[in-house]
Amino acid sequence: MKKNFALVSALLPLSIAAQQRYNIVYIMTDDHTAQMMSCYDRSNVTTPNLDRIAADGVKFTRSYVANSLSGPSRACMLTGKHSHKNGFTNNEHGIFDGSQQTMPKLMQQAGYQTAIIGKWHLVSLPTGFDYWNILPAQGDYYNPNFITMQNDTVTEKGYLTNIITDKAINWMEDQRDRSKPFILFIHHKACHRNWLPELKYIREYEDRTFDLPSTFYDNYEGRTAARQQEMHIDRDMDIVYDTKMFRPGVTTRLSNAYRNMVTRLSGRDQQVYDWFYDSLSVDFYKRFPDMVSGKTTNNTRELAEFKFQRYMRDYAKVVKSLDDNVGRVLDYLKASGLDDSTLVVYTSDQGFYMGEHGWFDKRFMYEESFSTPLVMKLPKGLDYRGNIRELVQNIDYAPTFLDIAGAPIPADIQGVSLLPLLRGEHPKNWRKSLYYHYYEYPAEHSVKRHYGVLMGEWKLIHFYRDIDEWELYNLKEDPHELHNLYGKPGYEKTTKKLLKELRKLQKQYDDPIDNGNS
């Protein structure tokens, strides 16, 4: 017995030391949704480089966030904890407490070099990174500012997606300590509103007419919170800021913000931009003369569909640059011999509506925005390939990376390591349900506060605060979540079961429900 112990303790450090310490390149975009990624959905765009990641690894088909909004999603990813535990519940009032335990700090302790480049959006400055170079707030697409580790603001020339990639490749090539494994976070602003394209792709997708989603003219029957939102393409998308129909004299809520963004371009670039969108704008105001007053038109369907096409085209252009740049990172890893030893993760801070329910933006626990794309290119030694259908959430990334680093996963981390799934295992005790909680209301886009549970084909949601409404969906029979079954005869047992699961998760995650209606 004694002998065995001695043997085990002699072997243990060896086995940890012998474990391959993969590098991790974590690429996270802003608002990039699966409907605009061809490895998930071929109907809208082609993304060959993103598809390469999935082809050389895995694609998660049931990947979700804990809170569908930028700052909160990033805080969940960094801590492995739900919003109420990491303290960053919403963008408008949140300041991330950088003194708390985070995955990058734990990765450092495990001997990794840590770096982050691009969108940060957590207000306080990064902690736990050996190198960082971040955008102020949402950042700008054209000639963007970056905040340096010295807390200086520096303006860089060019298109943001290219610049972030240049910086990331530079860091891997010239700046990192080659004696250590690394985790590099490449955080793009693309494809965040208002979808300003790289000038070389300004004409791309202009001959495409995208199909309207079947739910574009949703009437929100039985769904009060869905009816009361302000993220409607028809009503809420700004004709100047979002669809870029600028015309001197036409003033909208966001027209000044728009000009400030576009006039970051200069000289010939500014001309290229203006030539393109001005000619569209001239046609637009001929077609919708009432819009010159910046107000309204009788042709509401025609206008809504015009806005939808502009939205889809501009978003698709932004994705094209993104896909190119992901390709550059993959090519660099290959050329530099890092390919076999590096896990590449591609995800977004949440999904997004591409006209489903008539919407843009995110926030709701409905599938399009609750889910987030997640594909991983696996390094040598992790040889599983294909789809992973288990339920996963962005609180799982932190424990996964720690697991990969051979580091212990602290007990207060609420996510679980995905490493067994990456090995092709299907653990019998894998989670059967997911918890969601969204807090940013009252706020832009007016999506009511809500929490809910997803279990198998069922979803139960409670909207609260100045509303007290429950929704129940069967995703198999009603994938677009149009038929709220809550309170309908025949669903009492299912509702009870889901409610029990919801309360169990709230207890497990220790979420004090701030609703007054629970």
Q: Which residues bind ligand SGN (CB under 6 A)?
A: 30-31, 69-70, 91, 121, 138, 192-194, 254, 361, 444-445
Q: How far is the CB of 309 from ligand SGN (least distance, A)?
A: 19
Question: Which positions from 343 to 382 touch Ca ion by CB under 5 A, shown as an x/- string?
Answer: ------x---------------------------------
* Nearest residue (CB) to ligand SGN, 31 versus 130: 31
Q: Which of 128, 109, 126 is nearest to 180 (CA)?
A: 109
Cα distance between residue 426 and residue 420, in whole Å: 7
Q: Which of 24, 26, 31, 64 forms a contact with Ca ion (CB under 5 A)?
A: 31
Considering CB under 5 A, how many residues would be counted as binding Ca ion? 4
* Nearest residue (CB) to ligand SGN, 161 versus 342: 161
* Nearest residue (CB) to ligand SGN, 314 versus 361: 361
* Nearest residue (CB) to ligand SGN, 70 versus 414: 70
Secondary element (H or E) of residue 187: strand 182-187
Cα distance between residue 226 and residue 300, in whole Å: 20
Q: How far is the CB of 453 from Ca ion (least distance, A)?
A: 23
Q: Is the peptide bond before 194 cis (omega within 30 degrees of 0)?
A: yes
Strand extents, DSSP E, 408-468: 433-438, 449-455, 458-464
Question: Which positions from 306 to 345 touch Ca ion by CB under 5 A, shown as an x/- string?
Answer: ----------------------------------------
Q: Which residue is nearest to ligand SGN (CB)?
A: 70
Instruction: Give, in order, the Cα–Cα distances in Å from 411 to each of 155, 340, 399.
Output: 42, 31, 10
Report residue 157 as tokens: 């020339």
CB count, 10 Å around CB of 454? Answer: 27
Q: Which residue is nearest to Ca ion (CB)?
A: 70
> Which partner from the list Ca ion, ligand SGN, none does 91 bind, CB cut-off 5 to 8 Å by kind?
ligand SGN
> Which partner from the list Ca ion, ligand SGN, none does 52 bind, CB cut-off 5 to 8 Å by kind?
none
> Which partner from the list Ca ion, ligand SGN, none does 193 bind, CB cut-off 5 to 8 Å by kind?
ligand SGN
CB within 8 Å of 429: residues ≥ 6 apart: none
Cα distance between residue 75 and residue 509, in whole Å: 16
Q: How far is the CB of 349 from Ca ion (least distance, A)?
A: 4
Q: How far is the CB of 74 from Ca ion (least distance, A)?
A: 9
CB count, 10 Å around CB of 487? Answer: 13
* Nearest residue (CB) to ligand SGN, 24 versus 365: 365
Helix (H, G, I), strand (E, B) or coil at 267: helix
Q: Which of 21, 26, 28, 30 forms a contact with Ca ion (CB under 5 A)?
A: 30
Cα distance between residue 115 and residue 131, in whole Å: 5
Q: How far is the CB of 1 from ligand SGN (least distance, A)?
A: 57
> Which partner from the list Ca ion, ligand SGN, none does 38 bind, CB cut-off 5 to 8 Å by kind?
none
> Which partner from the list Ca ion, ligand SGN, none does 194 bind, CB cut-off 5 to 8 Å by kind?
ligand SGN
Q: What torsion, rounded to 10 degrees, do the Cα atoms 133, 135, 136, 137 define?
A: -130
Amino acid at 54: A
- Helices H, strands E: what count in the chain? 15, 16
Cα distance between residue 371 and residue 197, in whole Å: 25
Q: How far is the CB of 193 from ligand SGN (least distance, A)?
A: 4
* Nearest residue (CB) to ligand SGN, 38 versus 91: 91
Check residue 70 for interaction with Ca ion (CB under 5 A). yes
Alpha helices in 95-149 (DSSP H): 103-109
Residues engaged in binding Ca ion (CB under 5 A): 30-31, 70, 349
